[in-house]
Structures are given as structure tokens and as C-alpha cells.
Structure 1
Amino acid sequence: MPLDNDALNHLAEHFGIATEFWDWKGRHTQISESAVVTILGALGIDASTPETAAAAVDEIRIRRWRRALPACVVMEQGQVRTIDVHVPGGSPAGVSVRTEDGRLIPLGQTVNDEADRDIEGVWTGEASFVLPADLPLGYHRLVLFNEGREQESSLIVTPIFVGFPRSLGDRRVWGYATQLYSVRSSRSWGVGDLIDLTDLSTWARTQTYADYILVNPLHAAQPVAPMEPSPYLPSSRTYVNPLYLRPEAIPEFAGVDDSTRDRIERLRSKLWDDLAGAVQIKRNEAMAAKLEALEILYQVGLPPARQMAFEGFLRREGRSLRDFAVWSALYEVHGPDWRQWPEALRRPTSPEVAEFAREHADRVRFFEWLQWNCDHQVSLAQQAAKDAGMALGLIQDLAVGVSGAGADTWRLADVFAQGVTVGAPPDQFNQSGQDWGQPPWRPDRLADLAYAPFRELVAGVLRHAGGVRIDHIIGLFRLWWVPAGGSPQDGAYVRYDHEALIGILALEAYRAGALVIGEDLGTVEPWVRDYLSRRGLLGTSVLWFENLPDGSPLPAENWREYCMASVTTHDLPPTTGYLAGDHVRLRHDLGLLTETLEEELAHNEEEQRRLLTHLHDLGLIVPEEGVDEVESTVLGMHRFLLRTPARVLNVALTDAVGDRLTQNQPGTIDEYPNWRVPLSGPDGEPMLLEDVYCSERAMRLSAVMNGFQTVPAPWGPR
């Protein structure tokens, strides 16, 4: 339903602001005029009065005529596309494509009957040129030749279809999903790290024949304590959290003298003593101890070949890494929120920031050194997984956004919308809606920059991975923008150029030979899943959510082939907890239900009855000697996944070891210890990675996933 103000309607349509939507119960909802005005303000458009809104419409109508070339054109290979260029009226024009390898491909001109226009005193004409279907994949340049001058813009040609890496052939794969910080070993520093990931991958492949490990986002948090616990609210998605470094795995550690080695070991031992009895992950304490050890190793220096490698890394990363490291050093001096720093330090290009960087050059270099070592240890994890025989290895998770106080919003402030945050409208699992506290990217600024920030982000994540999971992939189509100070119900959807974003994602995945999995749960327009399937990107199917309109389970044969199929997700309890109704009682205790506890429990019990009856009827829940009823049910649920056509199957590591504790309760921050729960056994006691190696439950579940008739004995200390 349109708004009453025609100018606002025009602006909303131009900037992709939806003025209505249908909620999770199928109810039609009208967006308020004030929400549209606020969101337009976040895009730099003053529509606060009818006069300013009308002026903004006039400006938009002539804006494209001021551009000689469109800022960025993204097209699928094999398609034909027409572009319009603008030149002084009556003057001849020619357009060519300059490809990545330097070739110049002239474009043919086509008919354009648009009359010349007076644009701010200059008569301007429009001409149209055809981009042919046989252009090569890649990042190219459009070149306009007019009156002896050349002007350029970006052209990105993307694959029509990504699909599965060639190395997989037609076979199905399965693997584990885990929250890395929760998987601690006896040699880590109180938090699961990249060497633990390396060892977990080796166990997963050699003992259970898994083909990948899907981990939580490894994105950078704060450089020093206190640290944000959520891996989905990072300070930067481009760089890695040094919390995941293992100091002893840095090559220079091997050459230190005994005194230095002892200092580092004492730091780790003291940390474990301090953490004794802790029931939650203690990031702040772990980071403080680890940073002290890393600073010791940094002072050791680098041998010549390592120094050359470090300098090569700095050249490759360029200004982005430099700015991130400067932000980290500024953070230590001026505090956690750059928006509260002295005015002169709020822009990375200011003279004052340059002076600070010179005065703190060694500290800036230290933060660059940390990222170099992070990159190295992520690479080690992926290489170890592949060496062990995994088809994919590491699948990295890409969070939907970043903290408004973080490094990325400081580095790229003009790319982020101000005065709004990203969230979600009310849905079944959070009936008050959600505000994730993250500023969204501006669709218009991304296009102006030829999507360079997104390209950099995706390429970095796929550098050392066999795949990427895109959290809330619907965010590449539309995001729910919440006006600052308002509730999630006051928001509206804002559309993004999904053709461009999905296309770039497809191009980077194609070049990396990687798999792309989109988390497409929640309120999703049906055509979006069709589009993802057409482009060869996998969706996400969770057993609890795959139902027919009447609420009965979707038959296995009707599941998608192009999906990652699982029983649970990190936003739900492990399956044993879900079966017990832990998620319902927890949301009741936290005040997140809009219906009574009794009603929600009854709904949950009915949902479970339908599913479990279906599994029993299929003969999938089989009593086994030494296996209790709950574990038998969990095994039966995973047997069901094997009956679907899904090409990628996923097992939560928590399900494999019998953990019951919820990692994250959406809609809460500190009301529940989100992202601070260690991996635990069926008894609720924290377990180490070495305990996973000996888990008989894990071996039973892996036997199901592999279709084995008998259960291999778990490897353990001998």
C-alpha cells in the first residue's frame, strides 16, 4: 500500500525502501511515513517536509544525466546488457571494455531516441551501447571516448552458476559445525584457537571421515579487553581476531631461548590456574595473557625470509590493513568507541591520524604483525584439513554486519548509514523483533565504490577456505533497518542490488573453487530461494523448520538438493536441549514470549510429536544397546537427513558429543551468557578437545552419517 505523499513514494521506490511487508504470520503490515523519512535521512536525503522531498525527487531525476558512465555495471556472463552514457549534446562517443588482462573490446552502439536535455546549463545527450554475451569473467573497466577525453567506470562480469567445486564431483559431503572459542584443548589459552581447529579437522577427517568444519565467524573483535563476546558483532569482518592465535605456533617461538620460553609458559599456566572452575569462556582474561605472550614474540624479530614474507603481506593488504592497525592503536589510547574520540581522529585520512601513526609506528606494526600471523594460522588450519583428506576443509562464516563503534565503520564511515541499525521484524522465535545494533551498508555508496568493500571482504574470507557460509544471506537482498531510538517494530526493509552482490560472491567463489552456503532461514520471499538456486548457491534447511503448510514434516524426498541440511543451528539449543523444551523455557524466563509458557510448550510438544511420529513411522529411531532414548532420537533425526537429496549435510559438534547447553539466545545480550558457553558433555561438565577424541557418542553419530552398519572404536590415548 503506497504512502499518502507521492514524493515519499517515489523516493522510497528509488532507494529500495519497502512501504509494506507480510510478517511471519502472513499479516499485511504498513510501514509508517516517519520510518521512511528516517531511513531516507540515513541515506543522506532530506524528506522531512513536502518541499524537501519534492526537491530530492527532482535531484534524483537529473542525477544520472550528470554521470558520463554508470558508476558500476554488474552482469552475468552469457547475457546481453545495454548501458547509457551521457556526453555533450551532438558530440560523438565510443565505448570499449578494457579487460583485466589489458585487452580493449569496442562496444556496438544501439538506438536511443532520448532527446537532449539542458542539465544545469549544459545540453547533454544520451547514447546507448551493448555489452555482448561473450565478455570474459572478471573485474573490467568501461572506457568512454568523447572529444579527445577518456572516462572510466567499473564493469564486473560474473558466473551464471557456481554450484559445487569440481573436486566434489557428484558426491555428497558431511561435516561438523562448531563455535571455535568453545572447543578448548589442554594446550590452548582458555579459548579454542586456530591450532585447536587444525587438530579438530584432523580428528574429524581421519577418525570420522568428515569433509569439512564450519566455524563461527573469525572476524576481529576489540584489540584489547573488554571484548565483545558475539562473533556476529565484530569490529571488522575483513580481519581475524588475534584471540584465536596460538603463540607457540608462531615460527619464532621455536628459536627463543629457554628464559623466554619459560616466561610464555608461565603466562599460559597462570591463566589456566585463574580460570579453574570457571563455567563460562573468559575472553578478556585469555586475551590479556595471550597479548602479553605475543608482544614477547614480536620483540624477538624476524629472520630475513620471514621479514620478506611479512613485507609482502603488508603490500598485498595495503591501506586497509594499515587503517585497521592504526584504529587498533588509537583504540588503546582513546577508548572503545571512535565516535567519542577527539574530532580530528574520527577520520583515517586526517593529518592528526597520520601524526599519531608516526608517533606510534611500532605499535601499529605490532597489530599488522598480529594479522599476518592470523592469516598464517588460518592457512595452516585449511592446509591441515586438506592434507588429512577433507574435500572442502574449512568453511568460514561471514557475519551480516559490524559494530558501529568498530574498525570497519571508522575506516569506511561514509559507506555505512547513520542513525539506523540492522535487525529483524517480529518472528516465531523472537516475537518482539530484533535490533542487532549494527549499522547497515548504504546500497548507493556500495555501487559508487564498485562494491570494492564487499569484494575485499569476500576475497579475504575465501583466501584460506573451501567454502563460505553467509549469515542471513537475505541481507544481500534486503535488510530490516531500525531507526535509532525506535523498536524493531518501527523498522522497514531496504533492498540491495542482489544481482551485484550475489554476482560478486559467485565470481569470488568460482575463482577460489569454493562452496557458498546461504543462511536463508526466517521470513524469506519465496523467489529469493529460487534465485539462489539458479545461481548455484546453497540454502540452509533445518529439520525443525522444514514443514508443510499444515505443520507436518516435509517428506525427505521434497527437501532441496542445493542446501546444507542439519538438525539444529547455533541459534537453537543442541538437539537434546531442544527435545527437552529448553528453548521455550529460556525465552519465557527472559520475557521474549508473547504467548503464555503453557501455550508455547504445548505448541512445541505438538511440533515434536509430529516429527518424531514421522521418524518412527519411517523406522529411523532404532533402540540400541547402551544408547538411551534421547540419543537414539538424535541419531534417528540425523538418519533422516541421509534420506534427503541435500548434497551437504551438517552435524553440530554439540550434538555429536551430547552437549545440551545453548550457545546463543537471539534477542539477548547479557541476560544469557551468549557465545560464552564452553563445549560440554551430556553431564553438563565442560570438555576439552582431547575428550572429543574419545567420545563414543561422536563415533556413533559419525557412523550414522557415513552409513556404517557398525560403530568404529574412537581413537584415544593409548
Structure 2
Amino acid sequence: MALARLAELHGVATTFAPAKGVTVAVPDATVVAVLAALEIDASTPQAVRAALDRAEQAAAERLLPRTVVLWRGPDDSLAVPPHLAGLPAGTALRVTTESGDALTWTTPPSPGPTTAGRPRPDTRPEPPRGAPDRPGAAEEPEAAGGPETRWSRLPLGVHRLYAEAVDGRTADAALVVAPDEAPAPEGRAYGFLVQLYSLLSARSWGMGDLGDLAELATWSGRSLGASFVQVNPLHAGVPGAPSDPSPYRPSSRRFPDPVHLRIEDVPEYAYADPAARQRLEELREEAARLRESVLAKGALIDRDAVWELKREALEIIYRIPLGPGRRAAYDDFLAEQGRALEDHATWCALAEVHGSEWHGWPAGLRDPRSPETAAARSALKDGVDFHSRLVWLADEQLAAAGRAAREAGMAVGIVHDLAIGVHPGGSDAWAQQDAFAAGMSIGAPPDAFNAHGQDWGLPPLRPDALAASGFAPFRGLLRGILRNAGALRIDHVMGLFRLWWVPVGSPPTEGAYVRYDAEAMLAVLVLEAHRAGAVVIGEDLGTVEPGVRDALARRRVLGTSVLWFERDWDGDGLPLPPSRWREGCVATATTHDLPSTAARLTGGHVELRHRLGLLARPLEEERTEETADVTEWLGVLARLGLLPEGAGDEEGGIRAVYRFLLRTPARMVGIWLPDAVGDRRPQNLPGTWDQYPNWRLPVSDAEGRPMSLEELAASPRLHRLMAVFGARTAPPDARPS
């Protein structure tokens, strides 16, 4: 079928498997819509035939794939892949590196792979873009190592490759040269997992902030021997009242949200004049009342109220002149971030005037490169500078938190979280419109757990646009988040391989998988992680197609293993013994989307879902199944000698779960911070919106009483749990279990 062949050539799947042994066809209308989002007209049979002819002809004539990936091994060797080794003899090649250097050579009569070293580059001026040197032009002599060694001289980076065959065919491609593997954690690591907003200290302005993050890292590293603290995404949110509290639906993934700033830690705060100082003190008093309403009265975290106070304080601080050194540092930051920051700050300034949904702005302002936008940027220059300044201040405090973690002896440090996508009305979607697929939203197909599928309301990046740009949007956001990270968690890491695209207005059951160049995406990820010296963690829970986990492990991207899901699914279905867990993972008891361990052990999460009408079966059926599952796990823990307190001891059960995790070979063990004090409430309850206070709950004890950071640090219950980690931080020798 012509439509299916056309879809295949553009990475669009025409079937999917909701369950093992079951294949479902994607509706033709969905395939046509997805192709349209990739600017391929398949609206009529004639259009399909014409598009297919063009695509097949282009594939037949193509000298190079859209992206070429070269992996450099630990011995500095670099093997040439078959599609390069097989280029026609006499093909003229030119590589323009990231730094602007140029290398040129001609393919030999019998090209082959090489693992040779790197001679000097050709640094002569670059010819016009897209015009590689002709065969033999500007070549180095064979004494430099011969044409077959030219690939191996390439430095790490994302370069541009140009080719021209003797028959006149030309091509250019992104060329990614990456280390063979991402950095790995040193030895065995354990640390806390926490949603930063939920961790209030006595100095917070109503929600956890970057000062609290530094404090948590310092305390847990120095006093408890923790190696890391993992937080939720700290990406810039979409402004508005009420704002979306989810950290996984940001305006921008590249830049941090200034709502996380510790106001008193901004250096200029100390230099306020008396009138400004008085107003700042009044704002601090209002913030203290807001904080106490959460900690003492059990109110929900109110991000909008926090931002209202901080926004006014930051406007006051903004009017305090920067000293010469601070001004120079700020100017350097602006130059380093360039257009990306200018676009983000411009969107923020425009959103204050026209609202945060740019699709509804005046027509001229919907285009970030239009004359109207340029004029508005000039008219709003103070607002643009204000928002640029806030990003700089947040970056400084993120860097300070990272330093605090390292100085506390943390081997990994702060683990940042990269959301899977961005809000369709936010700054990234506005500034990078060519990179996003218009009229599409990502989600998940129907499966055994959710017959209706999911629509996350986030526009997908276009795989063709990524390749054409040398993966610039992906590289930019990675560099932005990795600059202050000891490790990076990637939400729904399977999105590097494929994403479920849903046409806007269609149900999520009528979507289609669109494939990405996973090798290139992984290469860019590993390259940027290498440059930052950061560990990479992939959230690979849920439906994972065959080969994905192996591909991630090959590049030393750690996976995520949650105790309750680790069963022998291909065998007897029993809990997986610790010796059979994978080493390359972060082992945890729960996540922000799952019940806490206390709620799991007591069955409290079933009761919660029943009260909210979320159960798909009668309550007693759900209770019976959950009780059986927990009883089975408790039996495993008891047989392993990990439950000396007995099955009826809830706190002892939590400790037993973490003893089990330490028995596994997992490189990293994550402790859900609310578990340490018996918190029963999930931070997010999927399937709810206003029925449950998602993303607005402070860390609380077993009775639901909010606890400050200071109370957590002094908690006897927390210290009893952490004694488990002090007793053993490495798994026992492998033995039957």
C-alpha cells in the first residue's frame, strides 16, 4: 500500500501493539495527519503517489543519511560505519567542525573502517556552505596517514559533513562524534528523591527553593553520607493565575523558573536603600505567614501566591545597580546564552502584556522573527532585561546548590530532571516553531493498563527538523540543564526512540508512533553528558519496545527500577530476587506518580482512589489483589531476613524495602524522602486534575502533619531508616536468593 510505504519512509508507524500478540492498525486519517505535520501531503491518492515517488527517488540517490554518528571508544579508536565506508570511490568529503576547522579528503578506491589516531586538522578558510572541495582539492599528503584515516582525526562534537560524488550528486549531514559511553557514578551511590517545592524550611517563602536544595544537599551529604539529591524538573513554568502546578508541562525546558529563587541570597538584596529595605521586610513577613499556613495550618502550597511576593521583591532588587564585577558576569551570561535567552525573555515580557497563550497574540507577534516582534522587544526592553536577569540569578543559585553538594562530599550531586515536552503555548514552542510538529500532541497508546490511551497535551519535536538543525534544540536544552547538574534524569526516555503522536482533537486511541533517530539522539545525549561530567538516568517504566533498554545500557544510560514492578514477567511472575536485578539502574521503592511505600503497605492508596472514583473494578477486588501483592513481597523480605520487625510493623516494612534495594546490584539507590517520615500521600495522582491537590503537597509525617526541613533533619524515624544505609552501602556477593 502506497500510504504505508510513504509513512515508513518518514518514520511513521501504521500499526502498534497494545498487548503481546495483538496488532492494531493505525487509522489512515491519523497517518495522513501525521504526515501533514511533517509537511508531506498525503491527502489524496495522487498526492500519496507523488510524495512516494519523490521520497523513493531521494532515498535511492542519497549519498548520506540525514545524520551520521561516529562513536569513539575508550582507546580513542573510531570505526567508520558501513554507510561511510561504502561511499563511491572518489567522493569528495569535507567536515566543518564545531570550532570552524575544516578537513577535506577524497574516498580511496577501497575504503574501509579504521581505528587510527588523529593527525592535525586542516584550518584553512571554509568555502561557502554546501560547496565541498572537489576531489583532490586541499588534500593533505598521504604521509599524514592516508585518506582512510581521515575520519579518526575528528574531535568530539556535532559537526557538518559535506559530500560530492564524481557523478555530481551532493549531500550534507549532521555528523555527531560522541564518546562510546556516558559517565558512570563512582562506586555505589544512594541519595534522596524529592519534589523541591514540597520541602519547606524555616526560610522558605511558602514553597521549597534553591536555598533549601543547597541545605538539603549539605546536610544529607555531610551527615548521612548521601551521594545525590534528585529533584523534579525546575524548568520555567507558564505564568498565569491559576498557573499549571505540574513541573512536567513547562514553558521552557532550557531555562529555570525564578519562582525557585531564595530572595535573600540574591547579592543585591543586601544593598537595598531604607525604603526598599522596608518593603522587602514587609514581603518577608507576608511570606512567613504563607509558609506558616502550609507548615502549621496544613494549607496547600500556593505557587501563584509565592510568585506574587517574589515577583515584587525581585522588581525591587532589579532596580539596585549591579557592581562592575556583577555587571561583567551578567553580560557574559547574556553573550553565552545568546538568542535563546533573548527569545525566552521576550516571550515572558510579551506574555505579561498579551497573556501566556501566544497563539492568541496579535498576528505579527506570533512570529519571533517578525518586524512586529522586533519592535515589541525594543519597546519592552526593560521587561526583557528583567526576565533575562531572573534566569541569570536562578542559574547562579543552581550553581551554588551544585557546589554545596560537591563540597558535602557527594559523588554525584544534584540530579536534575528533564521533562518529556513543553506547553504548546510556552516560550519554547513560540521561539522554535519550526522544530515542533503543528497540530500534534504526544501521549501514550491504549494498553492493558489504560484502554483509552493518554494525551499529554505537549507538542512533539519533529525528527526531520532535529536532523536538519544538527539537533540544535535538543543540544541547547541539554547544555542548559547539564551546566549545573551532577546527573540528569530523562523523563520517558523511550521518547528518544519513538513517541506516540495524537492529532489535536482526536482521541489518544487514534494516534501513531513516530520514530526518531535514536542513535543520533543518544549520541548527542552522551556527548553533552560527557562534556558536563554528568551521569544519565532514563525513566524507562511502562511500555518499552524490545531493544531499547539494551541500547541505553550499551551507552551506560542507567534505567529506573521500582520494587513493586520488578517481577519475572517472562517466567513465573514472582518477585524478582535481588541478585537478578540489573546493575545499570537507579533502584527505588516509588516515584512521584506512585503511592508512597507507607500507602502501599497499608493499602491506603486503594482507599484514596476509591474515594475519588478512580477504580476500574469493585473496591473489594482491588483490595484483595493489592493485599495479595503486598503480602507476597513481605514474604520475600521475611525469607531474606530483611524484616526482623515483623510483617505488622509499617515502619519496619519500609526499612525492609530499602534493605532489599541495597541487596540488589543497582549502581544507585533512591530514597523517596517522604518515605523516611511515613508520608502516605502521593505528590501526583495520575487521572486527576482538580479532584486531588497534585504538585501542591508539602512533605508530611504519617499523620499528615507537614514537616519542615529542620524537622526532617531531626526526625528519629528518618534516622532509623538511614541507619539501614549506614550499615551496608554495597550489595553482598552474588549468591542464590
TM-score, length of structure 1 as denominator length: 0.90
C-alpha displacement of 1:301: 1.6
Letter in 2 for 1:97: V
Partner of 2:10: 15
In the other structure, the counterpart of 1:95 is 93
Aligned match of 1:705 in 697, 714, 725? Answer: 725
- The answer to whether the Cα contact below 8 Å between 1:163 and 1:535 also exists between their aligned partners in 2 is no
Residues of 1 paired with 2:20 and 2:307: CA distance? Answer: 44
- Shift of the alpha carbon at 1:583? 3.3
Taking a change above 3 Å as real, the CA distance of residues 179 and 70 of structure 1, as seen in their structure-2 partners, is same
Indicate the residue corresponding to 2:502 in structure 1. 482
Whole-angstrom distance in 2 between the partners of 1:316 and 1:455: 14
Indicate how the Cα distance of structure 1 residues 637 and 24 shifts in structure 2: closer, same or farther if over 3 A, else same.
farther
| 2:527 pairs with 1:507 | yes
Kindly indicate whether residue 698 of structure 2 is the aligned counterpart of residue 674 of structure 1: no
The 5 Å alignment of 1:41-60 reads 41-60=36-55
Aligned residue in 1 for 2:317? 297
Tell me what 1:116 maps to.
Answer: none
Distance 1:355 1:666 in 2: 43
State the one-letter code of the partner of 1:106: W
Q: 1:27 to 1:590 in 2, by over 3 A?
A: farther
Match of 1:338 in 2: 358
Q: Supply the AA of the counterpart residue of 2:639.
A: D
How far the C-alpha of 1:419 sits from its partner, in A, is: 1.6
Name the CA distance, whole Å, in 1 between partners of 2:537 and 2:329.
Answer: 32
Q: Structure 1: how far apart are the matches of 2:499 and 2:529? A: 23
Superposition map of 1:463-478 within 5 A: 463-478=483-498
Asked if residue 551 in structure 1 is aligned to residue 551 in structure 2, the reply is: no
1:584 to 606, 619, 638: 606
Q: Following the alignment from structure 1 to structure 2, what is the Cα–Cα distance between the partners of residues 133 and 694?
A: 56
Q: Aligned partner of 1:95: which letter?
A: L
Structure 1 residue aligned with 2:158, among 119, 133, 139?
Answer: 139
Of the structure 1 ranges 193-202 and 55-64, higher mean CA displacement relative to structure 2 is found in 55-64
2:80 is matched with which residue?
80
Q: What is the deviation of 1:648?
A: 0.7
Query: Pairwise mapping of residues 421-432 of structure 1 onto structure 2 (< 5 A)?
Result: 421-427=441-447, 430-432=450-452
Q: 2:124 matched to which residue of 1? A: none
- Match of 1:475, SS state, is helix
**In 2, Cα distance between equivalents of 1:430 and 1:572:** 16
Residue 298 of structure 2 contacts residue 706 of structure 2 at CA under 8 Å; is this kept in 1? no
CA distance in 2, matches of 1:348, 1:40: 25
Greater displacement, 336-345 / 488-497: 488-497
Which residue of the partner structure matches residue 566 of structure 1? 588
Secondary structure of 1:200's counterpart equals: helix
Q: Is the 8 A contact 1:422 1:480 kept in 2?
A: yes
Partner of 1:222: 238
Q: Distance in 2 between matches of 1:587 and 1:487?
A: 24
On the 8 A contact 1:379/1:464 being kept in 2, the answer is yes
Checking the alignment, whether the CA contact within 8 Å between 1:462 and 1:512 is kept in structure 2 is yes
Deviation at 1:398, TM superposition (A): 0.4
Counterpart in the other structure of 2:280:
264
CA contact (8 A) 1:430 1:666 kept: no
Q: What residue is the counterpart of 2:551 in the other structure?
A: 531
The structure-2 alpha-carbon separation of the partners of 1:212 and 1:595, relative to structure 1 and needing over 3 Å to count, comes to same
Letter of the 1:157 counterpart: V
Give 1:278 deviation, angstroms. Answer: 5.0
Q: In structure 2, the residue corresponding to 1:349 is in which secondary structure?
A: coil
User: What SS does the aligned partner of 2:547 have?
Assistant: helix
Alignment partners' CA distance in 2, 1:351 and 1:491? 37
Give the C-alpha shift of residue 590 in structure 1. Answer: 4.2
In the alignment, the residues of structure 1 paired with residue 269 and residue 191 of structure 2 have an alpha-carbon distance, to the nearest angstrom, of 33
Amino acid at match of 1:27: V
Deviation of the 1:618 alpha carbon:
0.8
Matched, 1:390 2:406: no
SS of match in other structure, 1:333:
helix
- Residue 551 of structure 1 deviates from its aligned partner by 2.6
The alpha-carbon distance between structure 1 residues 104 and 179, as it changes in their structure 2 partners (threshold 3 A), is: same
Using the TM superposition, give the Cα deviation of residue 612 of structure 1 relative to its aligned residue in structure 2, in angstroms.
Answer: 1.1
CA contact (8 A) 2:447 2:453 kept: yes
Summarize deviations over 1:190-236 as a string: whole Å, max 9, x none. 01000000001111111211000000000000245432100000010
Cα distance, 1:34–1:553 mapped onto 2, change above 3 Å: same
Structure 1: gaps of 5 or more residues:
1-5, 113-125, 710-718
In 2, distance between residues paired with 1:492 and 1:593?
Answer: 28
Which whole-Å deviations, capped at 9, do the CAs of 1:118-177 have from their partners, x for residues lacking one?
xxxxxxxx99x9774564322223244799999865311112222415xx1xx2010110
Q: Output the CA distance in 1 between the equivalents of 2:55 and 2:557.
A: 34
Find the counterpart in structure 2 of residue 273 from structure 1. 289
**1:108–1:519 CA distance, 2 compared to 1 (3 A):** same
Contact residue 487 and residue 536 of structure 2 kept, 8 A: yes
Once the two structures are superposed, residues 345-389 of structure 1 have per-residue CA deviations (whole angstroms, 9 ceiling, x without a partner) of: 101000000000111101100000000001000000000110111
1:430–1:593 CA contact under 8 A, matched in 2: no
Whether the 8 Å CA contact 2:174–2:467 is kept in 1: the answer is no
Query: Given the superposition, is the C-alpha separation of residues 39 and 213 from structure 1 closer, same or farther in structure 2, using an over 3 Å criterion?
Result: same
Contact 1:434 1:667 in 2 (8 A): no
1:244 paired to 2:239: no
Q: Which runs of 5+ in 2 are unaligned?
A: 73-77, 112-133, 136-146, 730-737
Q: CA offset at residue 58 of structure 1?
A: 1.6
* 1:685 match: secondary structure: coil
Give the alignment of 1:188-203 within 5 angstroms.
188-203=204-219
Q: Supply the distance in 2 between the matched residues of 1:340 and 1:67 (Cα, whole angstroms).
A: 41
Tell me which residue corresponds to 2:466. Answer: 446
After the TM superposition, which residues 678-693 of structure 1 pair with which residues of structure 2 at under 5 Å, given as runs? 678-693=698-713
State the distance in 1 between where 2:621 and 2:511 align: 28
**Alpha-carbon distance in 2 for matches of 1:667, 1:45:** 35
Identity rate, percent: 48
Report the secondary structure of 2:190's partner residue: strand
Aligned match of 2:389: 369
Displacement of 1:444 in angstroms is 0.9
Is contact 1:140-1:155 (8 Å) kept?
yes
Conserved? CA contact 1:430–1:667, under 8 Å = no
Q: Normalised by the size of structure 2, how large is the TM-score? A: 0.87
Moved more, 695-704 or 382-391: 695-704
Task: Say if 1:178 and 1:214, in contact at 8 Å, map to a contact too.
Answer: yes
Please tell me the root mean square deviation across aligned C-alpha atoms, in Å: 2.8
Alignment match, 1:642 = 662
* CA-CA distance at 1:687 after TM superposition: 1.3
Alpha-carbon distance in 2 for matches of 1:8, 1:500: 27
Q: Distance in 2 between matches of 1:567 and 1:91?
A: 57
Q: Which deviates the most, 408-417 or 250-259?
A: 250-259
Structural mapping, 1:83-232, within 5 Å: 94-100=92-98, 102=101, 104=103, 106-109=105-108, 132=151, 135-144=154-163, 153-165=173-185, 168=186, 171-223=187-239, 225-232=241-248
- Residue 575 (structure 1) aligns with: 597
How many residues were matched structurally?
682
Residue 661 of structure 1: how far off its partner (Å)? 0.9
| Alpha-carbon distance in 1 for matches of 2:625, 2:632 | 11
Task: Describe the shift of the 1:513–1:599 C-alpha distance in structure 2 as closer, same or farther (beyond 3 A).
Answer: same
User: The residue matched to 1:300 in structure 2 has which SS?
Assistant: coil
Report the AA paired with residue 584 of structure 1: V
- On the 8 A contact 2:70/2:79 being kept in 1, the answer is yes
* CA distance 1:705–1:430, change in 2 (3 Å): farther
**Matching residue within 594, 600, 603 for 2:625:** 603
| Distance across 2 between alignment mates of 1:601 and 1:37 | 45
Which residue does 2:29 correspond to in 1?
Answer: 34
Q: Secondary structure at the match of 1:494?
A: strand
CA deviation after TM superposition for structure 1 residue 79, in Å: 2.6
Q: Distance in 1 between matches of 2:446 and 2:613?
A: 14
The structure-2 alpha-carbon separation of the partners of 1:665 and 1:537, relative to structure 1 and needing over 3 Å to count, comes to: same
Flag the 1:486–1:141 CA change in 2: closer, same or farther, 3 A.
Answer: closer
Indicate the SS of the match to 2:455: strand
